[in-house]
Structure 1
Amino acid sequence: MTGLVSSYNDFDPLEEIVVGTANAYHLPPVDTSLRHFFQLDGAGTDRADAARLARVIEETEEDLAAFTEALTGLGVRVRRPEPVGLGERLAQPGWEAEANHALMPRDCLLVVGSTVVEAPMPVRARYAETFPYRGLLTEYFEAGARWIAAPRPRLPEETYLFTPDGPVLAEHEPLFDGANVIRCGADLFFNVSNTGNRLGARWLARAVGDEFTVHEISICDDHVGTTLHLLRPGLLLANAGRLGQDDIPAPLRSWKTLWFDDPADDGYGLDWARASTWIGMNIVSVDRETVIVPAAQNGLVRQLEKEGLTVVPVPYRHGRTFGGGFHCCSLDVRRRGSLESYL
């Protein structure tokens, strides 16, 4: 019998998923780590008043409720995190920050088979982001899951390197977000970027063991969910604005690629956007034939339907506002299937 945690890819039949929450979303002061993550010039502070922030939080919760309803209607069990405090103070030697949110479990957690990994996130405001999920993690552990955490990072100022080619992370300690990783059965593709370093890739490879091969790639500046998706074995969805055929990871170049080049712009509700229009391709596959897509992305819907996929459009208004779409805001915990090599 499959345990409560068992997920090796993003396309086998989905049985259980964690969906984050926008409630208690907080705008922390912009420090070096946030400027590094968002590639901000200057302070990048927000002047959003409480009423405006409350409105976008309310609308996002409405959209997450619609996302939950769609998933439940497709037979998927949906779990949610515990309530979080507003702007709780975080402190380590050398820095202080304020907790940001519990909206994007894909960033702070990584599921590899029956193992859940707490990621060593490089943004200081996200240092305790796994805490609202600890109740669920304890439940999964008691049911047999392997629960591990990467070394807690120190995140000193010298972590954040601003180079002529863009921001990169120093190699002093393992750093990555869960959303740096594309899962493809026995193969994991780790995006080395301003949210994941090579030491993080090496730590992950050793942590998951010899059953898995970790491939270092570098296909975008941060997370991979707006650049490349594995829809099913042999079929990719790729960002035509960032990638060409030669940029596809070598082991995947023989797969058929759907090139997406027409993201709709939903705009954003705060003073500056935390994601580009490509957040529109941040999708969730329920199985190899069914995909949940932001409802505004009509071009993507048509493209996927032309390929024979069943598309479930769900409204999502604030992907650019908060910097995360359906894939970011969820974590698939159990999919029906076993460990395979697809390459």
Structure 2
Amino acid sequence: MSSVRSFTDFGTLREIVVGSPAGFHIPDADLSLRHFFGLPADHVEPLPAAGALERAVEETEEDLQALSETLGRLGVTVRRPDPFEQGRPLSLLDWSTTANHALMPRDCLLVVGERIIEAPMAVRARYAETFPFRTLLREYFASGATWVAAPRPQLPDSTYEFTEDGPVLAESEPLFDAANLLRCGSDLFFNVSNTGNRMGAEWLRRLLGSEYTVHEISICDDHIGTTLHILRPGVLLANAGRLTPDTLPEQFQGWKVLWFDEPEDDGFALTWPRASTWIGMNILAYDEQTIIVPARQEGLARLLEKEGFTAVPVPFRHGRTFGGGFHCCTLDVRRDGSLTSYL
């Protein structure tokens, strides 16, 4: 059996990849980055205070090590990426930038069953983001997993459209971050947004075939992990600042919803935050009962425990600094469960 096998975000976790902040590089604010973060056209990336980035990287690695140890005590196999020199130049046709980080495998890699898919990401600085994970990908391929890469995008300037409703992606080539997906067995929910277009959803639909249904939704500006989580079949965790009972995807109407509306603000170490305070609900489930939460999110822990879940607090100080929480910074490679419909 392939060592890659995961159909949900809630089956009992057996193996996971934890990212690395080492060498985190702040790229120039090119068109693709301004589009992703909704920055003004005249934005110039300011230099952080002396030592601020280095301290944030060091503290984030400490927190990810604490996460890895917590997962290890639960019996989970933890894998890490290879060292990678960030900040090296990246160039393709009409654009150039620099490599960014290897912190968030959830964004660049998507596990669906025994497939592991390299996502066609829209931010140019993230073009080579899967490279630090290639040793693991080769190992998983050797174990029997299907290793697929989406078409490598060209990312011309025309990709990035700015509308009255906010930034969107042109439908000129398949584009999506893997973190746009919510996995629920044979049903996948694809958030059409400024990090995923309908062509990307259609490409994924054709790749996966008739065993899966890819539902297109639009519930937030980019990644789905700060807006909606499936805690277990029939129970959701939802962002009360972005969703209402009427705007939940129709497939979840009738499910029990834990509405979260008071995230703690962890602050940020650089000159501007890469995520809102809602990064505090970027959780990681060990199983249908046990949820790893950022230690400062005590209100979230109470909400979960009131419903009968076990909340496991782990320190995480720089979710807003780098724009990712526990879900973003991990990739579950193997979970218990089989291909079935939970709807």
TM-score bracket, normalised by the shorter chain, equals: over 0.9
Q: Is the 1:82–1:135 Cα contact (8 Å) retained in structure 2?
A: yes
Please give the alpha-carbon distance, in whole angstroms, between the structure 2 residues aligned to 1:80 and 1:155.
Answer: 29
1:22 aligns with 2:21: yes
Q: Give the AA of the match of 2:276.
A: S
Number of residue pairs matched by the alignment = 342
* SS of aligned partner of 1:246: coil
Q: How far apart in 1 are the matches of 2:141 and 2:44?
A: 40
Question: Contact 2:239/2:261 (CA < 8 Å) preserved in 1?
Answer: yes
Q: For the residues of structure 2 that align with 1:200 and 1:254, how far apart are their CA atoms?
A: 29
Equivalent residues in 2 for 1:168-317 (5 A)? 168-317=168-317
Shift of 1:153: 0.2
Structure 1 moving runs of 4+ over 2 Å: none
State the 1:250 CA deviation: 0.4
CA contact (8 A) 1:35 1:44 kept: no
| Displacement after TM superposition at 1:4 (Å) | 0.4
Which residue of 2 is the match for residue 36 of structure 1? 35
What do you get for the CA RMSD once the two structures are aligned? 0.7
Deviations 1:133-170 (A, max 9, x none): 01000000000000001000000000000101000000
Q: Which SS does the other structure have where 2:68 is aligned?
A: helix
Q: Structure 1: which 5+ residue stretches go unaligned?
A: none
* Structure 1 residues 233 and 299: alpha-carbon distance in aligned structure 2, compared to 1, 3 A threshold: same
Q: Distance in 2 between matches of 1:237 and 1:75?
A: 25
Counterparts of 1:318 and 1:129 in 2: how far apart (Å)? Answer: 20
CA deviation map 1:228-255 (0-9, x unaligned): 0000000000000000111111011111
Letter in 2 for 1:51: G
Mapped partners of 2:337, 2:78: distance in 1: 19
Query: How far apart are residue 3 of structure 1 and its match?
Result: 2.3
TM-score, structure 2 as length reference:
0.99
Tell me the residue number matched to 2:164.
164
Alignment match, 1:131? 131
1:122 equivalent in structure 2: 122
Asked if 1:51 corresponds to 2:59, the answer is no
Distance of 1:115 and 1:3 partners within structure 2:
9
What percent identity do the matched residue pairs reach?
A: 66
**Pairing 1:112–2:112 present:** yes
Deviation at 1:72, TM superposition (A): 0.5
> For residues 37 and 131 of structure 1, what CA distance do their matches in structure 2 show?
21
1:86 to partner: Cα distance = 2.6
Aligned equivalents of 2:49 and 2:84: distance in 1? 20
Q: Secondary structure at the match of 2:210?
A: coil
Matched to 1:24, the amino acid is G
- Structure 1 residue 175 displacement after superposition: 0.1
DSSP 3-state at the match of 1:117:
strand
Letter of the 1:247 counterpart: T
